[in-house]
Amino acid sequence: MHKTDPRPVHSYYEHSRNRKIGTPALEHDSTFEVVVVGGGLSGCSTALHLAEQGVKVAVLEARHFGWGASGRSGGQIINGFACGQDTLEKLLGLETARQLWDHSVKSVEYTRKLVDRHRIDCDLTMGYMHLAEKRRQVTELEETAADLADKYGYHRMALHGRSGLGTWLGSDLYAAGLSDSGSGHLHPLNYCLGIAAAAKKAGARLFQHSPVTAVESSGGRTTVTCNGVRIHCDTVVYGCNAYLDGLAKEISGTIMPVGTYIIATEPLTEEIALELIPSRAAMADLNFILDYYRLSADHRMLFGGRVSYSTFEPLRLTGSLNRRMLRVFPRLSGTKIEFSWGGYVAITRNRAPHVGRLQNGNWFVQGYSGHGMALAGYMGKIIARAVMGDTDEFDCFAGIPHKHFPGGRWLRMPGLVAAMGYYKLRDRF
Ligand SMILES: Cc1cc2nc3c(=O)[nH]c(=O)nc-3n(C[C@H](O)[C@H](O)[C@H](O)COP(=O)(O)OP(=O)(O)OC[C@H]3O[C@@H](n4cnc5c(N)ncnc54)[C@H](O)[C@@H]3O)c2cc1C
């Protein structure tokens, strides 16, 4: 899987997608108020919220809707941020860190609202658990639960020792788990396609097979080039995330594409599936290179993990993920793996999302750092409001400071690969 690999994605999600968004490629010069680049959750949700306000908006997607991370993801809708609240506290102080935490909690609630309002069939299931294997991780869970309750007023978490884990998870691997009734999981591709369909219904024009190759702004007007035609608009919103490449040079240096991978087993019997995860909650451990897994609606085990800091797929990926899955669930030995796929997340240096406005007036949202499933749909609403002139919520996110990765596009990779070696070692102890 290379970032520009045009082949269809061999994922369980493509296999179980419940709709196709039949849209044309852009073929004629045209004019819109807003052009959104990227047909993932960020882009589709921005378009939905703008179209609902009567804005003439188009979404240009290089391949098809949900082709990027949004249609390949683990599907875990989790509150909080990849960087953790302590990073936000250090960067912005407790008050702003609290506001951001509240936004993250709202992002999960808002996902539920969108699913409900637009009747999106995407297997939404609430329940989540953070898992600790090692003693130091148990302490981390205890501290997290206490901090979130005391400092952030969040009381939807409960700590479970080894003996209390059985009703949640059928694995002997873990020493403790922290459950969270405010997070959950869904079928990410069907969710994204549902948002795209809602945007279309609200009046947004959607175009697939429409890669944007240039954006030029001057004198308050912007021209977008795509498929050899030109679109004139007032403003552009970039929702390209890890697939941005060099399209907007001002923001490409703050993100790094990182590959992450998932396997899906054949369907298990309901009885076996519920022995493995009786709670049906989504699970993730606390390792830096984490394992994340959950059951699909048709009782497959979807098991994700492994990362690649080069833009090439690691060799023997399926076997390696299968071994990690068997470490958690030895009884899945001999179970067929029917799908394996990967995609790119965009990480930032501090692992906080990067949201902002460029000097030429165009907007962007990116860098969820593997934590964008609930946030991207919510950010669409916030960006749309900002484009319409209400920047209160936008400013809260745009205030997070970001630095460029050192080195050019290629030089920054070896540094990260070296860092990964360190974290892999740390995960062992
Ligand atoms: C394997 C995997 C597992 C993940 N698991 C989770 C998880 O469990 N929970 C979680 O919270 N997050 C998870 N994530 C991250 C999450 O999926 C992303 O944060 C989120 O989907 C980002 O959405 P987006 O719309 O910003 O980007 P994307 O969904 O990547 O969409 C960007 C789109 O822009 C298009 N594009 C790029 N350049 C152009 C151009 N020039 N012209 C036109 N179109 C263009 C691309 O084709 C792409 O479709 C995972 C990601 C991956 C890859």
Taking the model in full, what pTM does it have? 0.94
The DSSP secondary structure of 137-197, one letter per residue, reads HHHHHHHHHHHHHHTT----EEEEEGGGGGGT---S--SEEEEEEEEEE--HHHHHHHHHH
Ligand 1: centre distance to CA 365 (Å) = 11
Ligand 1: centre distance to CA 105 (Å) = 20
Half-sphere exposure of 14 (CA within 13 A, CB side): 17
Contact 174, 329 (CB under 8 A): no
Ligand 1 atom nearest residue 76's Cα: 8
Rounded Cα distance, 199 and 213, in Å: 24
Q: Which residues of 270-308 are buried (b: 16+ CB within 10 A; e: fewer)?
A: eebbeebbebbbbbbbbbeebbbbbbbbebbbbbbbbbb
Ligand 1: centre distance to CA 66 (Å) = 8
Q: Which two tokens stand for residue 313?
A: 């797929």
Domains of the chain: 12-415 (3.50.50.60)
Answer left, alpha or beta for residue 367, where phi above 0 means left and psi between -120 and 50 means alpha: left
3-state class percentages of the chain: helix first, strand second, coil last, to nearest 5: 35, 25, 40
Please identify which residue in the block is written with the tokens 């702004």: 217
Minimal CA–CA distance to 165: which of 150, 144, 145, 179? 179
Q: List the residue whose alpha carbon is closest to atom 9 of ligand 1.
A: 76
| Ligand 1 first shell, C-beta below 6 A | 37-43, 60-63, 67-70, 72-76, 78, 211-212, 239-244, 247, 260, 262, 292, 304, 342-345, 368, 370-373, 376
Along the 429 residues of the chain, how does pLDDT read in single tens digits? 555 565 668 899 999 999 888 788 888 889 999 999 999 999 999 999 999 999 999 999 999 999 999 999 999 999 999 999 999 999 999 999 999 999 999 999 999 999 999 999 999 999 999 999 999 999 999 999 999 999 999 999 999 999 999 999 999 999 999 999 999 999 999 999 999 999 999 999 999 999 999 999 988 889 999 999 999 999 999 999 999 988 999 999 999 998 899 999 999 999 999 999 999 999 999 987 789 999 999 999 999 987 766 555 555 788 989 999 999 999 999 999 999 999 999 999 999 999 999 999 999 999 999 999 999 999 999 999 999 999 999 999 999 999 998 865 554 554 444 444 444 544 544
